[in-house]
Amino acid sequence: MSKKMFVDRLIEQIKAKNTPFIVGLDPSLSKMPPWFLTQQQIDRYSTAAQCAEAIYQYNLMVLEAVADLVPAVKPQCAYYELFGAEGFRALEKTIVAARERGLLIILDAKRGDIASTAEAYAKSYLPSQPSPPLEADALTIVPYLGTDCLEPFISEANNWGKGIFVCVKTSNPGGAVVQDCTIGDRYLYEIVGDLVRDEAEKSLGSNGYSSIGAVVGATHPDAACRLRSQLPNSFFLVPGIGAQGGSKAGIQACFNSDGLGAVINSSRAIMYPHLYGERESNLASIRDAAQRAIAQIRDSL
């Protein structure tokens, strides 16, 4: 079992890097610059193995650009699953490469199922002994199958000093159809927040925060404000800046008065700066994009 809780390790890294900004690793061949695809000999006839190796190589460039700037990275599983077993191998290698560079791994898998299936998912990503191939420091969870969905993930996280981020109020516009439904005088996302709060209060680290956190989008500042008051001890994983257009108010709402309580993620705007006004995407421009995002967050806070 890890001697230190995930949230305490995360806070250490945030303070060491002087930023709560993290980079999502969403490697999409359709967004990569032509020079890179040519270099990797990727075309419409490329095999799954060739494509998977190319996304790994692109990740290496991103990691080289940002590793000394950020506390963690967030690989999104879907981009790797696209290439089957070869894609999962690329994800494994990406996790190893990120860890070798001193980065924490927040795996964005959004798993969530009942009882024994949830337990199998939890054991696929969270234990440290024996270490599974896709071992992460924290994992995203979809909670809408209820408490027997959450419990196995919480149990494994607490047992191994790992973290989970429960999807409470997500950044996508369509999420409101479900998450903003009202039950009595409360939003559904607030009721889900109660589940997070109850578990978070049971396991506080040395900094007063819990490793049981929540996904809260920067695109919904009013909801973020409500949830920040409701979940004072939980860290928020905050998507929605960069390509999704999250606001300064949305960023501010996710933090506590101590300047902690959230990590802000951006993926596409960092990985593919040529799609967002830059002339090219390469190591230098990716690093510049990350530094601009860090400066934006510092200005917001």
d(CA 255, CA 45): 47
DSSP-based three-state secondary structure for 222: helix
Residue matched to tokens 């290439």:
83
Q: Kindly report the length of the chain.
A: 301
Give the confidence band of 1 by pLDDT, cuts at 50, 70, 90.
very low
- 95 CB contacts (<8 Å, ≥6 apart)? 75, 105, 107, 134, 135, 136
Residues annotated as catalytic (active site), given as ranges: 110
Give the global pTM.
Answer: 0.95
d(CA 81, CA 88): 6
User: Pairing mode, if any, of strands 182-183 and 186-187?
Assistant: antiparallel
Provide the phi-psi class of 259: left if phi over 0, else alpha when psi is between -120 and 50, else beta. left
The per-residue pLDDT for range 52-101, each reduced to its tens digit, is: 999 999 999 999 999 999 999 999 999 999 999 999 999 999 999 999 99
What is the rounded average pLDDT for all residues in the chain? 94
Q: In percent, how much of the chain has pLDDT > 70?
A: 97
CB atoms < 10 A from the CB of 74, how many?
A: 25
Residue matched to tokens 């989970």:
164
So what's the pLDDT on residue 103? 98
Q: Where are the beta strands (DSSP E) in the chain?
A: 21-25, 72-75, 104-111, 138-141, 163-169, 182-183, 186-187, 210-216, 234-238, 262-266
Domains and CATH numbers, the chain: 6-24+72-78+107-295 (3.20.20.70)
The per-residue pLDDT for range 177-219, each reduced to its tens digit, is: 999 999 999 999 999 999 999 999 999 999 999 999 999 998 8
- 130 CB contacts (<8 Å, ≥6 apart)? none
d(CA 28, CA 47): 15
So what's the pLDDT on residue 243? 52
So what's the pLDDT on residue 222? 93
Q: Where are the beta strands (DSSP E) in 228-276?
A: 234-238, 262-266
The per-residue pLDDT for range 87-99, each reduced to its tens digit, is: 999 999 999 999 9
Nearest-5° Cα angle at 174, 294 to 166: 60
d(CA 220, CA 253): 9
132 vs 301, which has greater pLDDT?
Answer: 132
CB atoms < 10 A from the CB of 97, how many?
A: 17
